[in-house]
Amino acid sequence: MPESANVKSLDAVRYFASAVIQFREEARLCVTHLEMEMRRILGWLERDRPGFWKREIEVCRRRQSEARVMLHKCQMRRVGDFRPSCFEEKKYLQRCREELEFAQKQIAVVKQWTILAHQEADEYRGRSVQLVQVIERDIPQLIAMLQHSIERLADYNEVRLPHQTISSGASATPLSADGPSRSPEAAPVADANSDESTCARESDDVLVIRNRNPAVNTPDDDSPGDTEKIRQ
């Protein structure tokens, strides 16, 4: 595997980390919702439906008994030699019998569906264990790794190279109002072979320039050529 990564945007890494956190929360909610829904269905099959169909069986039996009584009363009514057909009573009794048979069959159907539901629930739990491990173990490790990488990248982003520090310091040097300051070393140096001269003010209107070149003057010579008066 490569030892370096070509990361061009720290914000993209942060966005990916937030997306992973959001996925973890949504996946956890989905797993919890599915678990609750599965328990609700199993409870409905195990507790609600058997009791419901038992009550329906009792109701159908009671209706069947009432239908028999109604049919018997109808058959006992006679007008001379005429016997009523009692068609409605017979039809109602037949419907009560069918309803009773249907309710009795539902007891076995509920048991069958309860067994199938438990099998499906066990299969779902077996498959969801891997997802739960990813949500509770692998994703937190990934989030921690991303947070560490973000911190490392942020620290690396703050690092400045030596030449960048020097250039930053040079650009930050303040300038004087008269332009860049001149260092003492930059001052012009007089030539060693040139004549050295000193200027002295003897009066307010006379400037005396005395030449000290030994090739021209001697220390004891006081001729007018040694001293030259320039009037201003």
**Residues with Cβ < 8 Å from 68, sequence gap 6 or more?**
93
**What is the structure's pLDDT at 94?**
93
**What is the structure's pLDDT at 51?**
92
Percent of the chain with pLDDT over 70: 65
Percent of the chain with pLDDT over 90: 33
**What is the structure's pLDDT at 175?**
40
**What is the structure's pLDDT at 73?**
87
Q: What is the dihedral of CA 28, 34, 37, 41, to 10 degrees?
A: -150
Residue 199 in contact with residue 212, Cβ under 8 Å? no
pLDDT higher at 161 or 22:
22
Interval 82-97 mean pLDDT: 88
Interval 163-185 mean pLDDT: 46
Distance spanning both ends of the chain, measured CA to CA: 88
Answer whether residue 197 shows pLDDT above 50.
no
Answer whether residue 186 shows pLDDT above 50.
no
**1, 13, 120, 162, 220 from 155: Cα distances, Å:** 24, 14, 51, 16, 79
Residue 51 in contact with residue 191, Cβ under 8 Å? no
Pairing, β 197-201 against β 206-211: antiparallel
Q: Is 183 exposed, middle or buried (0-12, 13-18, 19+ CB in 10 A)?
A: exposed
Interval 115-141 mean pLDDT: 90
Taking residue 15's Cβ as centre, other Cβ atoms within 10 Å add up to 11
Residue 66 to residue 153: CA distance in whole angstroms = 85
- Helix, strand, coil share (%) of the chain residues, nearest 5: 65, 10, 25
Residue 210 in contact with residue 224, Cβ under 8 Å? no
Average pLDDT, the chain: 74
- pLDDT grade, residue 97 (50/70/90)? very high
pLDDT higher at 193 or 118:
118
Answer whether residue 112 shows pLDDT above 90.
yes
**Residues with Cβ < 8 Å from 9, sequence gap 6 or more?**
none
Residue 216 to residue 3: CA distance in whole angstroms = 81
Residue 52 in contact with residue 88, Cβ under 8 Å? no
**What is the structure's pLDDT at 13?**
82
Angle at alpha carbon of residue 156, lines to 151 and 159, rounded to 5°: 135
